[in-house]
Amino acid sequence: MPTLDEAAQRLARLLTGDGHEYSDPSGGDLEFVEEVSPRPLEPLPAPPDCWAVDGGQALVADARCVQVAVTRAARTRWKAGACTLEEQTGLSVHVLLGADGGPQARRSLAETAAPVAPGAPVDLNLLRDWSEWALVADSVDLAAPGGVVLVDGDLQPDWRVAAHWLGALLERATARDVTLVGVTKHSSLARGNAPLVGRLELEAEKLLGARARWWAPVGTRRRELGPGLLVVVARLDPDARFAFRVDLPIGTAPEAVLGGLCALSDDAAFPGYPYPLSAADRLAACSGWARAQLRADLGAALEAAGVPPEVSERAFADRHRLMER
């Protein structure tokens, strides 16, 4: 039987080894550069207009065969060093049935004009992801020339969203002189099966100093339809504990875009991460108290619809949690 010590020995070999093979266990089609190495990054003035978009989701009630979930998206806008907009979409409530989501979920997605094949399965991830990307597209159309639109995560919608849609969005953004930027908080990029970002952080500290801003090209994602993407890792503030994966459209000037993001990433609470995205994340989040309130509201609505409380309680009771208390 494998033991904790054996697992630790295995992890130690991975984390301290000298493997040089790059990989992306998330399954992306990334073409890695030959050698990923940190480069100095100079800070620049903030972009004239910055929009940031994030999405949130929550499972409100779970009977396994049927689930009730909510999604929403949020965005912020920053100009001249100040927040000029904080906006949330309303909570969308979804009833999910079986592996394909059921008719209500498919109808909800179709009503948003999502570029998803009619027969594609619909789940909570797709519903949340599309609500976020629809708001990204709207922000691209509203952003001023020279502006940026920040997206939480990589610049790749759910696999069920038609590939041509993102290509068209990137081309529209380029035509409007707007740059789409994806920032990933927890990257799966690896070198020698160990986390690549963590290794680069340590290497950059030795090479460039403890308080250096830096960036490192990682690879490119080629697209059959529309512009490709450049993937980098960047540390955007001297006080930042962490660096992040950043996705940019090929054809942008990476040092100029990243240098401008430095001016938006010096928040004392979480230096190194763009604070417009932090604000959007806060707005989109479905916190524990919000889920509890939604669950109570659902119970009241079911009772008003003629469902006795004991029926709904037995349907949605979390027996694992109750037995483990």
For 58-73, write each residue's pLDDT tens digit: 999 888 888 899 999 9
Question: 175 phi and psi, to 5 degrees?
Answer: -65, -30
For tokens 């990054």, the residue is 41
Please, which residues have CB within 8 angstroms of residue 283's CB and are 6 or more apart in sequence?
A: 54, 74, 75, 76, 86, 87, 88
Residue closest to 271 by CA, chosen among 245, 325, 235: 235
The partner residues of 252 in beta bridges, in order of sequence, read 250
Q: What is the pLDDT of residue 320?
A: 64
- Average pLDDT, whole number, for the chain? 90
225 vs 141, residue with greater confidence: 141
- Summarised one tens digit per residue, pLDDT across range 140-155 is 999 999 999 999 999 9
- Cα pseudo-dihedral 2, 186, 252, 162, rounded to 10: 80
Domains, the chain, in order of start with CATH, read 21-286 (3.30.2170), 289-323 (no CATH)
What value does the mean pLDDT take over residues 227-233?
90
Q: Give dist(CA 260, CA 246) in Å, integer.
A: 13
Angle, alpha carbons 81-83-84 (nearest 5°): 115
Higher pLDDT among residues 297 and 52, named by residue: 52
Are 249 and 54 in contact, with CB atoms under 8 Å apart? Answer: no
Most confident segment among 7-21, 157-171, 232-246:
232-246
Mean pLDDT of the region 294-321: 84
Instruction: List the end-to-end C-alpha distance of the chain, in Å, as a whole number.
Output: 29
Instruction: Please state, for a pLDDT cut of 90, what percent of the chain lies above it.
Output: 61
Q: pLDDT (tens digit, 9 = 90+) per residue, 120-144?
A: 899 999 999 999 999 999 999 999 9
Span 83-114, pLDDT tens digits: 999 999 989 999 998 878 888 888 888 888 89
Distance between alpha carbon 88 and the CA centroid of its chain, in Å? 17
